[in-house]
A and B are shown apart, each in its own frame.
Chain A
């Protein structure tokens, strides 16, 4: 039987595990930053993982808008998933994040699989597993450790629906997903009416895991009434969005869409929500029923797992305090 979420007890992919091993060896303890180029060379030599492939996984593992629990702390331009290219690996530096250190330490010393793969999912890597709320997953595994007789539905209720770091809206047949069936997951960005611009202004944020403001801006431009003007089919033109201007606020990962003066904002809102990128539909599937995945994490050394979950929760608390302090 495979591990909890993929081929390892952590649910992390083989490449992510090799990354953690290489980071541990290269960055020391306490870890210092090393150039990505040095890490990639080591991965190529030691594990036979081609640098281009490893760099993509490395950069994604450093982006906190992609993963709830980033494994890597990156310096420099490590890219912006899904369409911002990273700098050459000579110019970026990496070390294991605190979560990455915890995952590596518990896996190598105690054989414990923290539920990081279950939390992060792998939809952003082109996989089928959605992400879940980290605190809810930790609480559920803890519950399963303390109460081995907990029912499946109890565990599934505690984990809740899929949840992505951006906070995008999620629609899914939850009963089917948690039973391990293949289902479609609909993710929708937040679209809010803003300002008092004529016709209307919408601010779009909280992107689905496979989308971005730049990607959505291109899609909206292609779906604008101006782009479709030459077509002699009024019913098709009527489906296009009456967009006057689009602006990407990169630093806030927001998109501002201004409508033509005579546009009906409610109707345009409905059309905006259908645009690919604002809404995405992704095939998802868990490798086993959700309750089974949770129990696999709780079935080993329960006392050690509870302690490890406490460390992970402390790390989340610290991160939240830092984020609050920065605001």
Chain B
């Protein structure tokens, strides 16, 4: 039996297992590349097709998000960013980023297999570029 994985990584695996097409960016992508730190939330740039956004809406519900917080596919198609609290921690859906450059991110992405699922993880170059754009800051390791 595998050791428990960080909740944002598990959330990404659950979403991918449901067929959702999204590139992981932010701290979770950094963790999947380096194994350093502890990801606090999951940042996703989803493919902007209506079917994928609808699947993402269902996936967020499966992650334990309250119906009040889950945006519809129609809203995701128009919005830039939605932060959704889930049982796995916050999931930030960067829908605008997905519309603008999901295909570009995918072209540079790495596939990392976690729990039998292939996760699409933005390249470190893209992770750092988007960190600069969105003001992400690296997670500091908590020390007991």
Contacts and interface: CB of A to CB of B under 8 A. Distances in A.
B35 to A, nearest CB: 16
Interface string B3-24: 1111100100110011000000
A274 B140 contact: no
Interface string A93-113: 000000000000000000000
By secondary structure, the B interface counts as loop
A271 interface: yes
Nearest to B8: A276
Nearest to A218: B64
Interface stretch (B50-58, B74-82, B83-91, B103-111): B83-91
Interface in A206-242: 218-223, 227-228, 231-236, 238-239
A173 B141 CA distance: 7
B116 interface: yes
A173 B115 contact: no
A171 B143 contact: yes
Contacts of B17: 231-233, 236
B140 A184 contact: yes
A186 B14 CA distance: 24
Given A173-B142, A221-B64, A270-B3, A239 B87 contact: no
Contact of A171 (B62, B89, B142): B142
A35 to B, nearest CB: 30
A222 B86 contact: yes
B38 interface: yes
Contact of B142 (A219, A233, A275, A281): A281
Nearest to B115: A235
Given A231-B17, A239-B115, A276 B89 contact: yes
A228 B87 CA distance: 13
Contact of A276 (B13, B14, B66, B87): B87
B94 interface: no
A276 B39 CA distance: 12
Nearest to A233: B17
B38 to A, nearest CB: 7
B13 to A, nearest CB: 6
Interface string B109-130: 0000001110000000000000
B86 A172 contact: no
A73 B60 CA distance: 40
B37 to A, nearest CB: 8
Interface residues of B, number: 32
A111 to B, nearest CB: 37
Contact of A274 (B7, B64, B142): B7
A248 to B, nearest CB: 15
Nearest to B66: A218
B63 interface: yes
Contacts of A231: 14, 17-18
Contacts of A61: none
A174, A182, A183, A236, most chain B CB atoms within 10 A: A236
A185 B116 CA distance: 31
A236 B7 contact: no
B40 A236 contact: no
B1 interface: yes
A199 to B, nearest CB: 16
A221 B87 CA distance: 9
Nearest to B3: A270
A319 interface: no
A173 B38 CA distance: 13
A236 B87 contact: no
Interface of A: 171-174, 176, 181-186, 218-223, 227-228, 231-236, 238-239, 267, 270-271, 273-277, 281, 283
Q: Which 3 pairs across A and B sit closest by C-beta, in order of nearness?
A: A222-B64, A219-B87, A222-B87
